[in-house]
Amino acid sequence: MSKELLIKGGYVVTVDPDLGDLPAGDVLVADGLITAVGPDLEPTTTAAEVIEATGRLVIPGMVDTHRRTDARCPGAPARLTNRNPSRNRPPLIEGNC
């Protein structure tokens, strides 16, 4: 059974010229992948997590590129961190800017 997430009722900004922006739209995600964007979507399972997004901006597929995990101030020491070792990710080397 897939794990579903439904983000419901938010202002959905898309880059799809056919769909356009939806002032009250929904985004359905299954197993970490966006499966549908549109108005009045319903999950396919009763176990789906539903997030009420009325009054919020929803940007499906948006990648937050404003993370500076390697930024260093001149003269500031870097440090090796492992924020969440349970995720099997390599440690980060981060600065303190």
* pLDDT per residue as tens digits for the range 18-37: 999 999 999 999 998 999 99
Per-residue pLDDT tens digits for 38-88: 999 999 999 999 999 999 999 998 876 666 555 555 555 555 455 555 555
Report the alpha-carbon distance of residue 9 to residue 30 in Å, rounded: 18
Domain 4-58: give its CATH code: 2.30.40.10
| In the chain, where the domains are located | 4-58, 68-97
**Cβ-proximal residues to 55 (8 Å cutoff; 6+ apart), any chain:** 10
Cβ atoms of residues 70 and 93 within 8 Å: yes
Cβ atoms of residues 16 and 38 within 8 Å: no
Report the alpha-carbon distance of residue 64 to residue 87 in Å, rounded: 19
Q: What are the structure tokens assigned to 85, written together?
A: 């070792």
From 64, 63, 65, 56, select the one nearest 12 (Cα to Cα): 56
